[in-house]
Structure 1
Amino acid sequence: MTDSREVPLVTGPRRMALLSFIDAGELPECARFEDTPTGYVLIVLWHEGRVLMVYERERECWELPGGGIEPQESPRAAAVRELREETGQRVTEDELRFVGHTRTAIGAAQRVLGGAVFTAEAREPRPFTANDEVSAVHWRTGAEPLPGGGLVQTVDEYIVELCRQAPSH
């Protein structure tokens, strides 16, 4: 549960709230948190100044690719796997750049989860094939409307802007 006095950095649809973002320069990738273990990853994948967004079927929302970390899997390995499973895009662990740690409150119960955010450049994007989780992808330039409309996860848009301002982007 979140502390009712904690003010989120940004809130989004589907009862999501970004509680904190700790830049990689402040806290290394290997940092672990007892109160909020790292349970998910997000990937900000760039190509020619555009970022890849996915339309997640169940949540009916445009968001960044990513997902849960399996037992015995590192966040970096989970990022590579999730990106491939959801979008067909392929990067290696070495191509990922760690950007920072997140704390996010999710759902009606406001369960708090920790996340790891990575970014990479897609040199030659692969074609997308819809799957059980993701029905569409879009390379987004900014805040333009996405194809077919639908909700956009504003928490993820906030994270994209943090990555856009990062030194290597």
Structure 2
Amino acid sequence: MAFNRLRQAWELPGGLIDPGETPRQAAERELLEETGHVPEGRLHFAGFAYFTLAPDGRREYGALFTGRGADVSRSFRPNDEIEAVRWWDLREPLPGRLQPLDAHLAELGRATPPSTRHDTPGPASGPPRRPGRPSG
């Protein structure tokens, strides 16, 4: 989990897809940019999320990826966006505020059986390629 300075809340690493990136490449880049960590091996596509954000009612799609433990031997350096990072055991509360959407997505990712995870996020005709967490 990453503690967002602006929102003062714990969130899953994530963000927008840059031009020319696949959703997986965006997830890997955001994980590295926000936490300084890289996944062990390949991230696996767990599914799409479609949600409406309050208070403006903005609708977004997200691609949820799961993976094996990130390289936590690298020390995290706080940046303009992220103040702290940590592993989170979903059975234990986090200190401070947790974004409800991110808690729900983390639970969905944990509940996705490995046999149903995919290497690709499906056909190009799927939902718009938007990221996994809200930007505001």
TM (norm. structure 1) is 0.61
Q: Answer yes or no: is the 8 Å Cα contact 2:38–2:71 preserved in 1.
A: no
Q: Answer yes or no: is the 8 Å Cα contact 1:98–1:119 preserved in 2.
A: yes
Which ranges of 4 or more aligned residues in structure 1 deviate by more than 4 Å?
Answer: none
1:117 counterpart (61, 64, 80): 64
For the pair shown, which has the larger CA radius of gyration, 1 or 2? 1
Equivalents in 2 of 1:123, 1:133: separation in Å?
19
The number of residue pairs the alignment matches comes to 114
Corresponding residue number in structure 1 for 2:7:
59
Per the TM alignment, residue 106 of structure 1 is displaced from its structure 2 partner at its CA by: 2.0
Q: 2:39 aligned with 1:77, yes or no?
A: no
Equivalents in 2 of 1:123, 1:62: separation in Å?
17
**RMSD of aligned alpha carbons:** 1.9
More strand by share: 1
Corresponding residue number in structure 2 for 1:162:
108
Letter in 2 for 1:72: G
Alignment of 1:138-149 (within 5 A): 138-147=86-95, 149=96
Equivalents in 1 of 2:110, 2:93: separation in Å?
19
Equivalents in 2 of 1:101, 1:143: separation in Å?
24
Alignment of 1:99-118 (within 5 A): 99-118=46-65
Gap change, CA 1:105 and 1:161, over 3 Å in 2: same
Per the TM alignment, residue 143 of structure 1 is displaced from its structure 2 partner at its CA by: 4.2
Gap change, CA 1:85 and 1:163, over 3 Å in 2: same
More helix by share: 2
**Identical-pair percentage:** 44
Q: Answer yes or no: is the 8 Å Cα contact 1:138–1:146 preserved in 2.
A: no
- Alignment partner of 1:95: what SS? strand
Gap change, CA 1:143 and 1:154, over 3 Å in 2: farther
- Alignment partner of 2:90: what SS? coil
Q: C-alpha deviations, 1:69-119, integer Å up to 9, x for none?
A: 112221111111100000001138x61100000112224221101110101
- Alignment partner of 2:94: what SS? coil
Per the TM alignment, residue 142 of structure 1 is displaced from its structure 2 partner at its CA by: 2.0
- Alignment partner of 1:100: what SS? strand
Structure 2 unpaired stretches of 5+:
116-136
Q: Answer yes or no: is the 8 Å Cα contact 1:83–1:89 preserved in 2.
A: yes
